[in-house]
Structure 1
Amino acid sequence: MIELVWFKRDLRAADHAPLAMAAKSGPVLPLAVVESDYWKLPETSSRHYLFWRESIDDLRRQGVPLCVRIGEVTAILKALHDSHGIRRIWSHEETGNAWTYERDKSVTRWCRENSVGWKQIRQFGVLRGPTDRDRWAKQWEAFMAEPLAKLPDNITYADTTGDQLPSHEGLGLTYAPCPQRQRGGRTEGLALFESFLSSGRARHYQRAMSSPTSAAEACSRLSPHLAYGTLSMREVVQRAYSEVSALKAVPPDHQPIPPRGLNAFIARLHWHCHFIQKLESEPETEWRDLHPAFRDARTQGFGDPLFEAWANGNTGFPFVDACMRSLIATGWINFRMRAMLVAFASYHLWLDWRATGTRLAQLFTDYEPGIHWPQVQMQSGSTAINTPRLYNPVKQSHDQDPDGIFIKQWVPELSKLKGRAVHEPWTLSPLEAREQGFILDESYPAPIIDHEAAARAARERLTRIRASDGFYQHQRAIYLKHGSRKSSRHTPKQGRAWVKKKPANQLELDL
């Protein structure tokens, strides 16, 4: 009989409680499954699979002899049970998308029918079952303070053969070039974390994380490693707290990193789990507007000309297009720009967040369903518990990229333009355009909308939606279930005034 450890989005040996616990109970078979049907889902992409495959290879180099199987999980479990006899399955809990949720339900039925135990262990500060949001923050801190799981000195691994890891083409994934994609594997993740803490990248974290020109360097860039579990959340949190304590013992003028910067980073680790908790508590967040007043409010999506222009970075708004093209090429962009992309699509273009969210999921190497779908809903306004943010695409351009450096890097058609024209090429006079060798709608698209008129129309629609019967009663119920607060003192009272009590940093998750 074997103890089967099912590796999912936890591709590491360090602080891996299921592996550590299974190793104390008998011979271990570490299993990773290439689920062909999963990779056919519309939100998956080659960049996700390549990161996952690189992480699998690195895990093997760490000394874990993974058995890789291709196919449907319950069929694979049956074959292994027939050949080896499975005493127990061990894994981390997973807050995935609807597909993985249904798959886990199928595995639960298989285990029950075959008298096989399945022990699922927390990986993040996310709670299953009824959750008291007034106590959630303290429970998160308590979980993160627990000792890291340690593996026994000697682990007996069961002997079994596996399948070869398929190529992305073998899974039917179309290769979308992402030349600056982050690479998978714990080795890469540890090197990133060390460079963040020791090389000074974290020094300007708080100030630089909002700008697209500085965020790629100032942010930790650990998000894909947390999403695929090559690093554990607990080890990251504990190391960050340890660094803060060490810094406080150093005179301020000798501190290589301001403690407040690392505290801001730790706060975003809180928000990481806070958002995953939303999807854990309400899986329908992936496909249904949380607030019923927004259901069916937006219907345009895939195939719509506005969607296609947005999805490919051809809206005629230079800063929006630069952000999208940067994301396509790198697989990452900072949080403020993610928020702007969603808000522009949801308000100015009035596109369905399910379509725009799917497109972004394909592009984010760090796609984490539990963060992604609650965030997309929040930025589109359909959670109704956050003040709608209608980012002015021109103002954002001037504010976030005043010299046009980011725009010129990713929208080279505008590289010869000067001053205001980089942000607003449609304002060039015919003479100025000729002098700069620029022809609007030939050199670069004209704006696909009048952004000021579109913003006015969006505000009018939002006003009508918020005036609908029962809007604020539903809004309050959503906040009580999903809102972030440190104690019951922050629980809202009846009426609208409670909206002002929301934490100011609700929109500032950025790893």
Structure 2
Amino acid sequence: MTTALVWFRRDLRLHDNEALSTAAAADRLLPVSVVDPREYGERPYGGEESFRFEKTGAHRARFRCESLSDLRASLRERDSDLVVRDGRPEEVLPALARMVDADLVSLHTWPTPEESAVESAVKTRLREAGVEVRRKWGHTLYHINDLPTPYTDVSDTYTSFRKSVERDANVRAQVETPSLPPLPESFADVETGTVPTPADLIGERAPDPDERGVLPFEGGESAALDRVESYIWEADRLREYKETRNGMLGEGYSSKFSPWLNEGCLSPRYVHDEVRRYEDLRVANDSTYWLLFELVWRDFFQFQAAKHGGTMFSRPGIRERHDIEWREDDAAFERWAAGETGIPFVDANVRELNTTGFVSNRGRQNVASFLANNLRLDWRRGAAYFETQLVDYDPCSNYGNWAYIAGVGNDSRDRYFNVVKQARKYDPEAAYVTHWLPELDPLPPEYAHEPWTLSREEQVEYGVELGVDYPEPMVDLERSYEKLR
């Protein structure tokens, strides 16, 4: 009789879960999740002391706790359970394996340095104890073994990568949700533990969802599947995805699947199959293609991390850019992080991020470009701030996109955004800006995006005094662009 442990990491779902399916082939099964203290609290970036940041903020802590609760409920509905333990996985998992006399531990693997280091320590300790370890790859659309080239040779350019996988690779079929074997006979001696609260993880209560946010983002596989059903089928939003994906306000302008994808509550292959089903039953157009296009972008950064390792997270990036003079300015960074730069389009997006844990893709690009290009502050510090705040944080996508904008990543060009032009294009009536900066609501759209152009008389007329009601801009945008051209 064989006994298996399945170690749930950022794969908190039952559907399309190969690690779970592998473990469920045993006669007895013990599902386990480990709350690793290294993922919470203040940490030095990359082990350095150049700056410190909070690894996980309140929004993602809440989402993770809800996801664990949902997973436990789903397992219990199937006469199984979820053991939750605090501690380092390399210590917790061997101890549990001994308690239930486990023969193997099944898990999903990730390509990033911190996750790989933990996994390596777990493998070493388990194998020393005579326990077999089976690793599975299960968080991307395309499987790493199905790429047209070895992952070490994938193109550093997205377009080349996309064309190669679209031409020469196939998306695997989903793994069926297995029937679960009974718990180990010694399960009665195992304390299941309690699902933590955000206060347990980060020392503070998570705020209630703000009514101004685009979605409350409830964690868990159940909520993930509900969101897919709502967005694709009930609201029929998929047919217009490409036209609306650059929106800024409302729950329907984009899919917003990312929090569930990145916490592993939702499989990208499930999304892929739902899109294909929609194309068969309703319509196939540029929008249906574009949602899959975005999933391939997500894959691209995963395989970039597998290829480049820690270099992707270094200040010079994969392009080894040592020619950029990055500034250290704590006061400037704090103004940016507080949404007090005096540039409304930047401030509105940062305040949405701080309040809800989410911000649109268009907003992320502009906020990142302002910090990295206009202010020339160390891009990694901005990326680390996003790591803290984002409810949908993923290390590969987050740092890959930041490096891309900062000119040290997957783009041979120096890329920057003209923030005011972007604001006028994507928020022409300043509805988004005034939604998050109500102090600018009295202003016409042209002034709401550039309040520093108000004369003294106009400030009195509209009742918005710069430096009192809203900050003076911390940088002359036009002069800062001159250095980038």
Q: Which residue of 2 aligns with 1:166?
A: 196
Which amino acid in the other structure matches residue 370 of structure 2? F
Counterpart among 154, 177, 180 of residue 133 in structure 1: 154
Q: 1:47 aligns with which of 39, 55, 59?
A: 59
Q: Normalised by the size of structure 2, how large is the TM-score?
A: 0.86
**Which letter does structure 2 place at the counterpart of 1:127?**
I
Q: Does 1:194 align with 2:237?
A: no
Equivalent pair of 1:126/1:274 in contact (CA under 8 Å):
no
Aligned to 1:58: 70
- The answer to whether the Cα contact below 8 Å between 1:35 and 1:73 also exists between their aligned partners in 2 is yes
Question: How much does 1:311 deviate?
Answer: 0.9
Structure 1: which amino acid aligns with 2:324? A
Deviation at 1:211, TM superposition (A): 2.6
Quick check: 1:295 aligned with 2:322? yes
CA deviation after TM superposition for structure 1 residue 449, in Å: 0.5
Displacement after TM superposition at 1:295 (Å): 3.5
The change in CA–CA distance for 1:336 and 1:126 in structure 2 (over 3 A counts) is: farther
The whole-number CA distance in structure 1 between the counterparts of 2:433 and 2:333 is 21
* Aligned match of 2:24: 23
2:120 is equivalent to residue 114 of structure 1: no
- CA–CA distance in structure 2, aligned partners of residues 4 and 143 of structure 1: 32
1:149 to 175, 183, 199: 175
Q: Distance in 2 between matches of 1:143 and 1:183?
A: 34
Q: What does the per-residue CA deviation read over 1:415-462, in whole Å, with 9 as the maximum and x for residues that have no partner?
A: 111242111111111111111112111110000000111111234xxx
Structure 1 residues 241 and 433: alpha-carbon distance in aligned structure 2, compared to 1, 3 A threshold: same
Aligned-partner Cα distance in 2 for 1:126–1:441: 53
**Number of aligned pairs?**
447
Aligned match of 2:313 in 275, 286, 299?
Answer: 286
State the shift of 1:25 in Å.
2.2
Equivalent residue for 1:368? 394
Which residue is 1:234 aligned to?
269
CA contact 1:227–1:366 (8 Å) conserved in 2:
yes
Tell whether 2:247 aligns with 1:182: no
Residue equivalent to 1:422: 448
**Which residue number in structure 2 is paired with residue 450 of structure 1?**
476
Whole-angstrom CA distance in 2 between matches of 1:154 and 1:293: 49
Helix, strand or coil for the counterpart of 2:396? helix
Output the CA distance in 2 between the equivalents of 1:298 and 1:71: 40
Equivalent of residue 100 in structure 2, options 80, 84, 106: 84
Match of 1:342 among 335, 358, 368: 368
Moved more, 433-442 or 42-51: 42-51
Q: 2:242 aligns with which of 182, 186, 206?
A: 206
Q: Deviations over 1:49-78 (max 9, x none)?
A: 211111111112212511111111121123
> Secondary structure of 1:101's match?
helix
Shift of 1:275: 1.1
1:339 aligned partner, one-letter code: Q
What is the CA-CA distance between 1:326 and the residue it aligns to?
1.4
Structure 2 equivalent of residue 217 of structure 1:
252
Letter in 1 for 2:307: S
CA contact (8 A) 2:4 2:106 kept: yes
Partner of 1:247: 282
- d(CA) in 2 for partners of 1:36, 1:384: 32
Counterpart Cα distance in 1 of 2:237 and 2:274: 16
How far residue 43 of structure 1 moved from its aligned partner, in angstroms, is 3.0
Determine the structure 1 residue equivalent to 2:3: 2
Tell me the distance in 2 between the aligned counterparts of 1:289 and 1:315.
26
Match of 1:313 in 2: 339
In 2, Cα distance between equivalents of 1:3 and 1:296:
52
Q: Would the alpha carbon gap of residues 8 and 169 (structure 1) be closer, same or farther in structure 2, given more than 3 Å must change? A: same
**CA 1:152–1:449 in 2, change beyond 3 Å: closer, same or farther?**
closer
Provide, for residues 210-229 of structure 1, a one-character-per-residue CA deviation record: whole Å limited to 9, x for no partner: 13136x42211110111011
- Which residue of 2 is the match for residue 431 of structure 1? 457
How far residue 162 of structure 1 moved from its aligned partner, in angstroms, is 2.1
Whole-angstrom distance in 2 between the partners of 1:126 and 1:140: 13
Identity across the alignment (%): 27
Moved more, 139-148 or 169-178: 139-148
Partners of 2:278 and 2:39 in 1: CA distance: 39
How well do the aligned residues superpose, as a CA RMSD in angstroms?
2.3
Task: Quote the Cα distance in structure 2 between the aligned partners of 1:364 and 1:325.
Answer: 12
Partner Cα separation in structure 2 for residue 143 and residue 130 of structure 1: 13
The answer to whether the 8 Å contact 1:126/1:277 transfers is no
Q: Could you give the per-residue CA deviations for residues 67-110 of structure 1, whole angstroms, max 9, x where no partner exists?
A: 111111121123213312221110112234x3322111211221
Structure 1 residue 395 displacement after superposition: 1.4
Task: Indicate how the Cα distance of structure 1 residues 174 and 357 shifts in structure 2: closer, same or farther if over 3 A, else same.
Answer: farther
CA–CA distance in 2 between the matches of 1:394 and 1:136? Answer: 32
Are the structure 2 counterparts of residues 405 and 136 from structure 1 closer, same or farther at C-alpha, using a change threshold of 3 Å?
A: closer
In structure 2, relative to structure 1, the CA distance for the partners of 1:84 and 1:142 (3 Å cut) is: farther
Rounded to whole Å, the distance in 2 between the matches of 1:395 and 1:6 is 48
Structure 1 151/443 Cα, relative in aligned 2: closer, same or farther at 3 Å? closer
Contact 1:53/1:184 (<8 A) preserved: yes
Code of the residue aligned with 1:183 in structure 2: it is E
Displacement of 1:401? 1.0
Report deviation, 1:235.
Answer: 1.3
| Runs of 5+ unmatched residues, structure 2 | 44-53
Are 1:317 and 1:424, in contact at CA under 8 Å, matched by a contact in 2? Answer: yes
**CA shift for structure 1 position 276:** 1.1
> Residues 8 and 25 (structure 1 numbering): CA distance in 2 closer, same or farther, change over 3 Å?
same
1:194 deviation in Å? 0.9
Distance 2:89 2:55 in 1: 20
The one-letter amino acid paired with 2:67 is S
